[in-house]
């Protein structure tokens, strides 16, 4: 059997859709939305047919060979015959626009953005027919076609599914894009996946959203106080009558990625999914601030609206109002989330593996060897090194805690080989970040440069294993050797440099960037 379905008006718009500014995950998301909406509207009927254990299953399959093929198949309720007249007309909204399907554009736009040719087959719950229609977009545009043939075959009234196939693709997902698609889809549909009622797979592998552990710790200003879970409910009422609800929390472990606010519209993340982080500077600060590494949350923005591509909010000029109200809320007692995010430091930062520390030392040593005679880089020397000033030298034989790293480095300055004994130690009782000592017993120039990893400066800015240790270590070596070079050139009290540095970094460590 066959019938026709109208695709007018707006047939010419099919030729514009491939040029839209979609991203692959949002385009696929438009197709997933149809499956979700069919399930949302019919979940009671579906459970009556398939039993209480029914779960919506959406299977996304991508085959990059032979021009590419994308298939999306679900076990939702299908597209009922009464909806076919609307389903394939551009910009014809559904009769119920209160769900994820609103504008009557998504499926057509996303399918044409991806592919030159696509088809849809469906069997609607309670109807004895399976229906199929094919879109050959180049032919439709060339011929000005306004009606397409619908092929119908007999089916069981208990069947319910839809299959969308896209081939002859404009853009084939490959390489890193595949990882981004999976990451973003899991993030966009986190609410549905989290419920356990929906399963979405990509090439047979279920998508999973990684939940971030919330910090449980005392308030940073009262480190001996009771530990609390740093999560705060959000409820903001605007003058327009629109409301924002949700929560904001502090991550247990700071990271630049995977933090920020997720803005949800009717259960779907439209801003802040995957790497598309929403971090207003009034709340998250700038650059590498502690807030930008730790704050995350989810806000329900369903009182607002979304763009027709459903990848951004329509703010109605109220974005600043929302941010200001949210900031005030996060600053208030009894749970000042912002102050805790700025001031909290992990007491026991994760230790870097020995191999990482050794690699840092190896790179520093190699740089010094490759530099040659650093005196050529500094200033020309016209005097030999003076003898060590015994009144300023310190015996290095004191008892010390075991060093995390203990490495001897060599460098040449004005033809003289210097040895720098570089140590990374963990001494919480020691106030100094950097200790520079000249070896009194050594005839050749030798200096000890000790960096204290337990110093507040290191706790604040080198919290993650070896991530930011290397540049800090190099600066410490440069300061230490520069001090002793200055001493050897006759400078008076060059150790004032390290004293001032130690005082300053302690102050700077207490001031979040």
Residue 61 lies in a domain: yes
What distance, in Å, lies between the first and last C-alpha atoms of the chain?
70
Q: Is the peptide bond before 460 cis (omega within 30 degrees of 0)?
A: no
Q: What is the pLDDT of residue 394?
A: 34
Q: Contact 472/359 with Cβ under 8 angstroms?
A: no
Which CATH number do you get for residue 62?
A: 3.30.565.10
pLDDT of 144: 85
Q: Rounded mean pLDDT of 370-390?
A: 44
Name the β-bridge partners of 449. Answer: 422, 436
- 222 belongs to a structural domain: yes
Provide the pLDDT confidence category of residue 329 given band limits of 50, 70 and 90: very high
Number of domains in the chain: 3
As beta bridge partners, residue 56 has 198
Most confidently modeled range among 104-118, 390-404, 487-501:
104-118
Predicted pLDDT at 306: 86
Name the band, by pLDDT with cuts 50, 70 and 90, for residue 236: very high
Domain boundary (343, 367, 383) is at: 343
Q: How far apart are CA 90 and CA 94, in angstroms?
A: 11
- Residues 472, 338 share a domain: no
- Judge whether 267 lies within some domain: yes
Is 249 found in the same domain as 164? no
Q: Identify whether 9 is preceded by a cis peptide bond (ω within 30 of 0).
A: yes
Q: What is the mean pLDDT of the chain?
A: 81
Mean pLDDT of 258-269: 92
* 324 and 471 share one domain: no
The pLDDT-based confidence of 411 (bands split at 50, 70, 90) is confident
Q: What is the mean pLDDT of residues 297-315?
A: 87
Domain encompassing residue 437:
354-509
Q: Which range has the worst mean pLDDT, 141-155, 307-321, 325-339, 465-479?
A: 465-479
Supply the CATH number for residue 282's domain: 3.30.230
Average pLDDT on 366-387 reads 48
In a domain, 475, yes or no: yes
Selected residue with higher pLDDT from 97 and 120? 120
pLDDT at position 166 is 97
Residues 67 and 194 in one domain: yes
Residue 45 lies in a domain: yes
For 315, the 3-state DSSP assignment is: coil
Residue 42 belongs to some domain of the structure: yes
pLDDT in tens, 36-83: 999 999 999 999 999 999 999 999 999 999 999 999 999 999 999 888
Residues 38 and 184 in one domain: yes
pLDDT of residue 9: 55
Residues 308 and 359 in one domain: no
Paired strand residues for 205 = 202
Residues 209 and 192: beta-carbon distance below 8 Å:
no
pLDDT at 402: 61
- Determine the Cα–Cα distance for residues 447 and 393; give it in Å rounded to an integer: 10
Q: How far is the C-alpha of 246 from the C-alpha of 49, rounded, in Å?
A: 35
- pLDDT score at 375: 53
| 262 and 303 inside one domain | yes
Residues 410 and 485 in one domain: yes
Per-residue pLDDT at 385 exceeds 50: no
Tokens matching residue 281: 């500077």
pLDDT at 398: 43
Domain termination residue (choose one: 187, 206, 225): 206
Query: What confidence tens digit (pLDDT) does each residue in 212-225 have?
Result: 999 999 998 888 89
Please check whether residues 326 and 369 belong to one and the same domain: no
Collapse the DSSP code of 283 into the 3-class scheme (helix H, G, I; strand E, B; otherwise coil) and give the result.
helix
Claim to verify: residue 89 and residue 124 sit in the same structural domain? yes
Residue 349 resides in a domain:
no
Would the pLDDT of 286 be above 80?
no
pLDDT at 471: 75
Comparing CA positions, the residue from 172, 60, 69 lying closest to residue 117 is 69
Same domain membership, residue 201 and residue 153: yes
Are 169 and 57 found together in one domain?
Answer: yes
Q: Give start and end residues of each alpha helix (H) in 51-125.
A: 84-87, 106-114
Whether 250 contacts 259, CB under 8 Å: no
Sequence-separated (6 or more) residues with CB below 8 Å from residue 164: 31, 71, 72, 73, 107, 111, 118, 119, 120
Domain final residue, candidates 294, 323, 343 = 343
Q: Is residue 84 part of a domain?
A: yes
């Amino acid at each position: 059997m066959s019938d026709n379905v109208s695709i007018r008006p707006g047939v010419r718009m099919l030729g514009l859709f491939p040029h839209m500014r979609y991203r692959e995950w949002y385009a696929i998301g438009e197709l997933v939305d149809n499956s979700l909406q069919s399930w949302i509207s019919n979940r009671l009927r579906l459970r009556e047919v398939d039993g209480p254990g029914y779960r919506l299953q959406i299977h996304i399959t991508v085959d990059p060979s032979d021009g590419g093929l994308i298939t999306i198949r679900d076990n939702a309720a299908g597209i009922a015959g009464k909806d076919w007249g609307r389903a394939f007309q551009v910009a014809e909204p559904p009769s119920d626009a209160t769900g994820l399907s609103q504008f009557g554009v998504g499926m057509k736009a996303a399918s044409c953005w991806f592919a030159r040719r696509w088809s849809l087959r469906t069997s609607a719950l309670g109807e004895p027919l399976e229906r199929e229609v094919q879109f050959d977009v180049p032919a439709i545009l060339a011929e000005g076609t306004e009606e397409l043939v619908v092929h119908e075959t007999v089916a069981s009234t208990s069947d319910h599914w839809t299959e969308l196939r896209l081939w002859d693709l404009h853009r084939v997902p490959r390489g890193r894009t595949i990882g981004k698609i999976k990451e973003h889809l899991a993030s966009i549909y986190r609410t549905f996946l989290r419920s356990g009622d929906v399963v979405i797979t990509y090439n047979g592998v279920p998508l999973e959203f990684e939940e971030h552990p919330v910090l449980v710790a005392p308030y940073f200003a009262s480190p001996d106080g009771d530990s609390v879970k740093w999560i705060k409910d959000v409820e903001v009422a605007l003058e327009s009558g629109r409301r924002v609800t949700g929560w904001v929390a502090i991550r247990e472990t700071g990271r630049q990625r995977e933090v920020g606010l997720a803005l949800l519209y009717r259960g779907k993340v439209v801003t802040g999914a995957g790497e598309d982080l929403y971090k207003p500077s009034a709340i998250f600060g700038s650059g590498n601030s502690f807030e930008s590494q730790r704050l995350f949350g989810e806000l329900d923005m369903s009182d607002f609206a979304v763009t027709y591509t459903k990848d951004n909010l329509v703010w109605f000029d109220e974005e600043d109002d929302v941010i200001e109200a949210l900031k005030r809320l996060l600053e208030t007692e009894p749970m000042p989330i912002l102050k805790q995010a700025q001031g909290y430091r992990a007491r026991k930062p994760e230790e870097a593996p020995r191999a990482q520390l050794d690699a840092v030392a190896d790179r520093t040593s190699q740089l010094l060897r490759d530099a040659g005679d650093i005196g050529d880089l500094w200033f020309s020397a016209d005097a030999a090194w003076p003898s060590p000033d015994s009144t300023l030298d310190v015996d290095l034989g004191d008892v010390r805690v075991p060093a995390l790293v203990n490495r001897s480095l060599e460098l040449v300055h004005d033809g003289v080989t210097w040895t720098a004994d570089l140590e990374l130690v963990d001494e919480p009782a020691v106030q100094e970040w950097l200790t520079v000592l000249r070896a009194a017993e050594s005839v050749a120039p030798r200096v000890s440069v000790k960096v204290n990893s337990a110093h507040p400066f290191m706790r604040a800015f080198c919290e993650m294993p070896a991530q930011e240790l290397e540049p800090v270590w190099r600066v410490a070596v440069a300061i230490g050797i520069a001090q002793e070079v200055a001493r050897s050139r006759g400078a008076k009290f060059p150790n004032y440099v390290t004293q001032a540095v130690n005082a300053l970094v302690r102050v700077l460590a207490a001031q979040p960037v």
